[in-house]
Amino acid sequence: MSGRTTGLTPPDEARPPVRHPDAPAPGELLGSHYDQCFGCGAGQPHGLHLEARAGEGVSVTAEFTVQPAHQGAPGLAHGGVLATALDETLGALNWVLRVIAVTGRLETDFLSPVPVGTVLHLEAEVTAVHGRKIYSTATGRIGGPDGPVAVRAQALFIEVRVEHFIANGRPDEINAALADPDQLRVARAFEVNP
Ligand SMILES: CCCCC/C=C\C/C=C\C/C=C\C/C=C/CCCC(=O)SCCNC(=O)CCNC(=O)[C@H](O)C(C)(C)COP(=O)(O)OP(=O)(O)OC[C@H]1O[C@@H](n2cnc3c(N)ncnc32)[C@H](O)[C@@H]1OP(=O)(O)O
């Protein structure tokens, strides 16, 4: 045992999240954080192409349409793809906090099957912050933004610096990202200096 807690419940000392003063306005489209991201990048033909918008407080909404390339069983979305949609929506909360954070833990409930062609209406919010630890929840509804919840998640994201990617990413992609002005603009939005 590493001694690391695996709990998704914030400790008593955790604080409520704070919306960054420069966070995009509620309703504003957040855009992709990386063109090659499987969750939100336009450059991934079979990716989710998930589009997220800032919400009120420290929340976001997003939509994702299940494509034939996302099947697990005939005509149904793969559970891992649905987990990815939840993960990506939770990751979009970074824009509202103006913090770069990666998924440390993601717990998912699959409540009903999601057919191909379905628009999944996602919502995520940060519930608490403790040091570098960001606690959050997400839901995915079908049949409309107020439809029944088909999937939901609880997550723990951990704040990292941009060096996390530079140190760990494959050099080819890291060097291409560092040479891309659009990517540098995204990094600058997080007030980091790659
Ligand atoms: C030039 C290129 C630039 C590119 C980037 C530019 C901009 C990007 C900007 C923003 C991005 C915007 C949106 C992002 C959208 C994302 C979508 C999806 C997100 C993902 O898909 S992202 C990929 C999957 N993700 C990973 O690839 C993480 C792999 N992992 C690690 O890299 C390490 O594991 C790390 C860094 C997580 C921690 O490592 P570490 O050494 O920094 O910190 P440490 O271990 O000390 O943990 C600190 C405290 O968190 C607790 N803690 C940690 N992990 C825990 C766990 N699992 N369960 C329970 N508690 C946990 C500890 O218990 C401790 O707690 P305490 O402080 O209380 O002791």
Q: What is the pTM of this model?
A: 0.95
b/e code 39-55 from CB counts within 10 Å (16+ = b): bbbeebeebbbbbbbbb
- Please state which CATH class domain 51-161 belongs to: alpha beta
Q: What is the ipTM of this complex?
A: 0.96
Give the strands of the sheet with 59-65, arranged side by side: 51-54, 59-65, 119-130, 133-141, 149-159, 101-110
User: Can you give the pLDDT of all 194 residues of the chain as single tens digits?
Assistant: 455 556 899 999 999 999 999 999 999 999 999 999 999 999 999 999 999 999 999 999 999 999 999 999 999 999 999 999 999 999 999 999 999 999 999 999 999 999 999 999 999 999 999 999 999 999 999 999 999 999 999 999 999 999 999 999 999 999 999 999 999 988 888 865 44
Q: Which residues line ligand 1 (CB under 6 A)?
A: 4-6, 33, 39, 87-88, 91, 94, 100, 102-105, 131-133, 156, 158, 160, 162, 165-166, 174, 177-178, 186-187, 190, 194
Per the structure block, which two tokens stand in for 182?
A: 């659009």
CB-based contacts of 59, cutoff 8 Å, min separation 6: 93, 96, 123, 124, 125, 126
